[in-house]
Amino acid sequence: MTLPVFVDVDTGVDDAMALVYLFASREAEVVGIASTAGNVGVQQVCENNLGLLELCKVGDVPVSKGSEQPISTPLRTAEDTHGPEGMGYARLPRTDRQLTPYDAAEAWVRAARAHPGELVAVAAGPLTNLALALREEPALPKLLRRLVIMGGAFDYRGNTTPVAEWNISVDPEAAAEVFAVWGSAWGLAPPKHVPIVLGLNLTENIAMTPALLSRLAAEAESSSLPMSVLDDRGTRSVASNPLIAVLEDAMRFYFEFHFDQNEGYLAHLHDPLAAAVALDPDLVACRATTVDVELTGTLTKGMTIADWSNRWGREANALIGVGVNPELFFDRFVTRVGAFAKRLYS
Ligand code: BDR
Ligand code: CA
């Protein structure tokens, strides 16, 4: 039995890794990709998504363009983190693939209606298009089998402001709208229907390193040179496998960014964890609670607040990830993506 999976991304180095993981997973069938403005502008996100389909030789997956701007906050992008085109130093193949004639919000609704009660969704960018989709189809939460959101930081520092995480910070109004919908009177009881929310407190445990990238290349039976912090910046991959080469070129930029942030020569794979959890929720331990987003604080806008002790007296609207085993995740990531790269290019 394959799981129909819908992915909303602002591709982005780690979004790209998440997409590749889903393509590599035999139990998943990606039925649609929503492109959201975030790490880079939405047109570039669309091009990256189409280029990745080409690179991964994936058949006809509809890619839809989302809103150019967040709901009411002006767009910010993160080329410093993900490179000028969002893929670090990597270049994606050209493609004639086209976007859908309908937009990303409609894509959410179409996918959910086409697979009622079956669709597994991953939101790994700002929640702009999901919020717009919920306006269009208020029954969306009931149509989904599962939703995993990468966003927020719970009892943990932010990566965009001292307290706010990127995806929530780019479109805090959208995030607040999404959590409000799941918190309203749907008669949806946790743990079944509320979104699984993976914040930085969890995803920053998932650190890709040069050693893990070497393991990935070996698994793909690709030639490759180990990367090092001592390499010249921007050194291009010599991997013989084209998928491994793209991932290495993308990851090198991401390593350099994390290094400059004093986090070491490594990179956090936030979005791939969300993709893996969408296919297998047992990868994380979660706690049900009510989440809301700060919209007015001059210092705290975009902060996610979890009401662990139910002081608000509101229904739970999220399952917050609180525990993960990074080794288990990386074993799965390396095995699946390595075998996929080998299948594609040997
Ligand atoms: C999130 O922000 C983006 O830059 C990444 O793609 C990820 O979705 C982490 O805060
Ligand atoms: Ca992302």
Query: Alpha-carbon distance 119 to 6, whole Å?
Result: 7
Residue 258 lies in a domain: no
Q: Whose CA is nearest to atom 2 of ligand 1?
A: 166
Q: What angle do CA 70, 73, 74 make, to 5 degrees?
A: 80
Query: Alpha-carbon distance 49 to 27, whole Å?
Result: 21
> From the centroid of its chain, how far is CA 249?
19
Ligand nearest to the CA of 14: 1
Query: Alpha-carbon distance 39 to 42, whole Å?
Result: 9
Percent over 70 (pLDDT), the chain: 98
Distances (CA, A) of 175 to 167, 197, 259, 272: 9, 12, 29, 20
Report CA(287)–ligand 1 centroid distance (Å): 22
| pLDDT per residue as tens digits for the range 236-280 | 999 999 999 999 999 999 999 999 999 999 999 999 999 999 999
CATH for 341: 3.90.245.10
- Residue 223 clears pLDDT 50, i.e. is over it: yes
| pLDDT per residue as tens digits for the range 276-329 | 999 999 999 999 999 999 999 999 999 999 999 999 999 899 999 999 999 999
Q: Is it true that the peptide bond before 138 is cis, omega within 30 degrees of 0? A: no
- pLDDT mean across residues, the chain: 96
pLDDT, mean of residues 168-196 = 83
Residue 232 lies in a domain: no
Query: Alpha-carbon distance 61 to 231, whole Å?
Result: 37
The pLDDT, as a whole number, for residue 184 is 82
Residue 8 lies in a domain: yes
pLDDT band for position 189 (cuts 50, 70, 90) = low
Residue 327 lies in a domain: yes
Report CA(226)–ligand 1 centroid distance (Å): 25
Domain total for the chain? 1
Residue 306 lies in a domain: yes
Report CA(38)–ligand 1 centroid distance (Å): 9
pLDDT band for position 150 (cuts 50, 70, 90) = very high
Q: In testing the pocket of ligand 1, which one of 39, 76, 87, 203 has its CB within 8 Å of the most ligand atoms?
A: 39
pLDDT band for position 63 (cuts 50, 70, 90) = very high
The pLDDT, as a whole number, for residue 252 is 98
Domain extent for 79: 3-207+265-345
Report CA(125)–ligand 2 centroid distance (Å): 4
Query: Alpha-carbon distance 70 to 178, whole Å?
Result: 13
Report CA(65)–ligand 2 centroid distance (Å): 15
- pTM beyond 0.95: the answer is yes
Paired residues of 288 in beta bridges:
319
To the nearest 10°, report the CA torsion of 46, 47, 51, 53: 20
Residue 313 lies in a domain: yes
- Residue 172 clears pLDDT 80, i.e. is over it: yes
Residue 22 lies in a domain: yes
Which amino acids bring their CB within 6 angstroms of ligand 1? 12, 14-15, 39, 78, 81, 124-125, 150, 159, 165-167, 270-271
Q: Whose CA is nearest to atom 10 of ligand 1?
A: 166
**Phi (first) and psi of residue 328, to 5 degrees:** -60, -45
Residue 227 lies in a domain: no
Do residues 22 and 275 lie in contact, with contact meaning Cβ atoms separated by under 8 Å? Answer: yes
